[in-house]
Amino acid sequence: MNHMNDTTSIEAFIRGLPKAELHIHIEGSLEPELMFELAKRNDIALPFATVEEVRNAYAFNDLQSFLDAYYQGAAVLLHEQDFYELAFAYLEKAASQNVYHTEIFFDPQTHTARGVAFETVLRGLRRALDEAERTWGMSSELILCFLRHLSAEAAMATLKEALPFRGQIAAVGLDSSEMGHPPSRFRRVFDEACKQGFRTVAHAGEEGPPAYIWEALTDLHVSRIDHGVRCLEDPALVDHLRERQIPLTVCPLSNVKLRVFDRLEDHNLKKLLDAGLCATVNSDDPAYFGGYIEENFLGVQKALNLERADLHGLARNAFEASFLTADAKAKLLVELDEYVVSASVTTMS
Give the interface with ligand HPA as residue ranges (CB under 6 A): 25, 28, 63, 70, 175-176, 203, 206, 254, 284-285
Contact pattern from residue 250 through residue 289 relative to Zn ion, giving x for each residue in contact according to CB under 5 A and a dash for the rest: ----------------------------------x-----
Which among 111, 110, 101, 44 has a CA at the least distance from the CA of 80? 111
Task: For Zn ion, give the closer residue by CB, 65 or 344.
Answer: 65
CB 7 to ligand HPA: min, Å: 30
Q: Residue 130: how many CB atoms within 10 A of its CB?
A: 11
Task: For ligand HPA, give the closer residue by CB, 109 or 322.
Answer: 109
Q: Does 27 bind Zn ion (CB under 5 A)?
A: no
18: left (phi over 0), alpha (psi -120 to 50) or beta: beta
Q: Which segments of the chain does DSSP mark as H helices, in order?
A: 6-16, 32-41, 51-57, 63-74, 80-96, 108-112, 118-136, 152-162, 187-195, 210-220, 235-243, 252-257, 269-274, 286-289, 293-304, 308-321, 326-347
Query: CA-CA distance, 278 to 247, in Å (whole number)?
Result: 5
Q: Residue 104: how many CB atoms within 10 A of its CB?
A: 23
Report what 206 binds from Zn ion, ligand HPA, none; CB cut-off 5-8 Å by kind: ligand HPA
Which among 125, 129, 127, 130 has a CA at the least distance from the CA of 145? 125
Asked if 265 and 306 touch (Cβ cutoff 8 Å), the reply is no
Q: Residue 2: how many CB atoms within 10 A of its CB?
A: 9
CB 139 to Zn ion: min, Å: 21
Query: CA-CA distance, 208 to 220, in Å (whole number)?
Result: 16
CB 136 to ligand HPA: min, Å: 25
End-to-end CA distance of the chain: 7
CB 81 to ligand HPA: min, Å: 23
Of 85, 206, 215, 294, catalytic: 206
CB 183 to ligand HPA: min, Å: 12
Report what 22 binds from Zn ion, ligand HPA, none; CB cut-off 5-8 Å by kind: none
Task: For ligand HPA, give the closer residue by CB, 31 or 285.
Answer: 285
Which among 307, 218, 297 has a CA at the least distance from the CA of 252? 297
Report what 257 binds from Zn ion, ligand HPA, none; CB cut-off 5-8 Å by kind: none
Q: Which residue is nearest to ligand HPA (CB)?
A: 175
Task: For Zn ion, give the closer residue by CB, 141 or 284.
Answer: 284
Report what 77 binds from ligand HPA, Zn ion, none; CB cut-off 5-8 Å by kind: none
Task: For ligand HPA, give the closer residue by CB, 18 or 28.
Answer: 28
- Backbone φ and ψ of 301, nearest 5°: -55, -50
192 tagged catalytic: no
CB 68 to ligand HPA: min, Å: 11
Task: For Zn ion, give the closer residue by CB, 284 or 294.
Answer: 284
Q: Which residues contact 177 (CB under 8 A, 6 or more apart)?
A: 63, 64, 67, 148, 149
Report what 215 binds from ligand HPA, Zn ion, none; CB cut-off 5-8 Å by kind: none
Q: Which residue is nearest to Zn ion (CB)?
A: 284
Report what 103 binds from ligand HPA, Zn ion, none; CB cut-off 5-8 Å by kind: none
Q: Which residues bind Zn ion (CB under 5 A)?
A: 284
Catalytic residue annotation: 206
